[in-house]
Amino acid sequence: MHMGFHVAVAGASGYAGGEVLRLLADHPQVTIGALTAHSSAGTLLGQHQPHIRSLADRMLVETTAENLAGHDVVILALPHGASGAIAAQLPEETLVIDLGADHRLESAADWIEYYGSEHAGTWTYGMPELLVEKHNPAAKQRTNLANTRRIAVPGCNVTAVTLAMAPGINAGIASATDLGAVLAVGYSGAGKSLKTHLLAAEAIGSAAPYAVGGTHRHIPEIGQNLRHAGADDFSLSFTPVLVPMSRGILATVTAQLPEDAAAPTTEQLHEIWTQAYAGEQFVQVLPNGVWPTTASVTGANTALVQVAWDAKARRIVAIAAIDNLVKGTAGAAVQSMNIALGLNEHLGLTVQGVAP
């Protein structure tokens, strides 16, 4: 029987909610309390998450503040726009972790431009490894997470792009203007609702771009992160592409040098990136010349990163692989939760992937 902290999960029937439960079910300091849902309330969790055997007979209840009250931690895996109202009804001392976008952005203007509704406010950003002080790779976001009761988990694409290029921005070797990012993204990132273009018959054997031409909602969040890492200006061409896999993101990010900067070698870049993530268990720079794959991180809370200098194009090329549901969402939530609760950051999380 688990003792420790009581955790409720709202939106337990969806992909993100299910992934949080998969991780929490094996967390040594957690007891899982209320599991809530909207249209699935009144059904058993096993109907929606048949892979989570230890919780299969748990009943889903309505997502209300009453059902979520009385827990040490409440994790909200709700559609965008639904978290603010629920969170406002929960006690200040409850640790509330939002997997949705509602509380990620610091700029209300950015929120209104990209999401088109009222901004719900800004919570502490749940990326422990985020670089937050120019030319100081030791300064990370986990210091802020240790002193908060409200955490906004990053977007999954945001995590991949940020972790790929933040070291170069922080060191002043990469310019944050004219960035390019193309991402291969697994279909679970689109959520569980039934839509024609997400059916297997449409997806298998096809690569499908979406949110092309600067419209993707993760762009302002990436800019926010890179400014914290030390960028003065920011512009990004961002193109996500759905590819036929359930999980994973492979982000290829390119950057120019700042004006008048001398061309680096790949070895010099590799050393800068390695120093930025020195001692990080969940963000690992691979040996020089070894490139990340999504298979290597499936089911794991790891981001695998690599960097090279393209001398002909005069661009830095950085690649990051993450599991969008783990390091991209639920793993980041559990990692941030551990920090906020004063626990070992690594509890309930693994660096071992599932392959082939």
Exposure string over 1-27, b if 16+ CB within 10 A, otherwise e: eeeebbbbbbbbbbbbbbbbbbbbeeb
Which of 37, 75, 127, 156 does the annotation list as catalytic?
156
156 flagged as catalytic: yes
As a whole number of angstroms, the distance between CA 16 and CA 324 comes to: 9
User: Where do the H-state alpha helices sit in the chain?
Assistant: 15-24, 45-48, 65-68, 83-88, 108-115, 142-145, 156-171, 200-203, 219-229, 266-276, 331-340
SS3 28: coil
| Token pair in block for residue 8 | 């409720």
Name the DSSP class of 131: B
Burial class (CB in 10 A: 0-12, 13-18, 19+), 195: exposed
Task: With CA atoms as reference, report the closest residue to 248 among 305, 190, 332, 184.
Answer: 184
Evaluated on CA atoms 14, 17, 19, 21, the torsion sign reads negative
Q: Which residues are catalytic?
A: 156
